[in-house]
Structure formats: structure tokens, C-alpha cells
Amino acid sequence: MGSDEKYGKRRQITFRIGPLAQERLKQAAALFNMKPCEYVKAILYKDLAVFDEPLDQRRHAWRQKKQQSEDEELGELGREQKF
């Protein structure tokens, strides 16, 4: 079952925020290790009580790949230090 069948057609929204809101958004998103757009989407879903929709499937795969590459780099550094 595809996401369109399960959740319906997706919509994109855009809105503007001021400089103060932008700075606070960056700070809040950093606390949760998220991008500002991901944090806004999470808060919107929470406030609308929509908990069964995924926030972003693409980000999850990217995090796994990034973690694997970091682990490999740490492994290489450990090998270089032994010699």
C-alpha cells in the first residue's frame, strides 16, 4: 500500500516568519537534532493531533547512511592510530 493510498494526496504549504521567529525556530530545532522545516512539521502534526502520518521518510534513510559513514570514518581513524 503506497503512502497516497494510506494517507491521501499530499499538499505543500508555505508561510513566512519574521527574523525573531526564525532564530527561535533554529534554536528549538537544534535541541531535537532536526532541520527547522522538520521541527515545524512535527509541531504542526502534534497540534493537529495527526500522529499516524510519517514526518519524512527521506530523512530516515539519510540518517542511517550518514551514521554508517561516520562509523566507517571512526574505524579508519582507529586503525591509523594503531600504527
Of the pLDDT bands very low, low, confident and very high (cuts 50, 70, 90), residue 20 is: very high
Q: Is the pLDDT of residue 36 over 90?
A: yes
Q: Do the Cβ atoms of 41 and 56 come closer than 8 Å?
A: yes
The residue ranges of every structural domain in the chain are: 7-52, 55-83
- Higher-confidence residue: 50 or 37? 37
Of the pLDDT bands very low, low, confident and very high (cuts 50, 70, 90), residue 15 is: confident
Q: Do the Cβ atoms of 44 and 51 come closer than 8 Å?
A: no
Cell 539519510 belongs to residue: 62
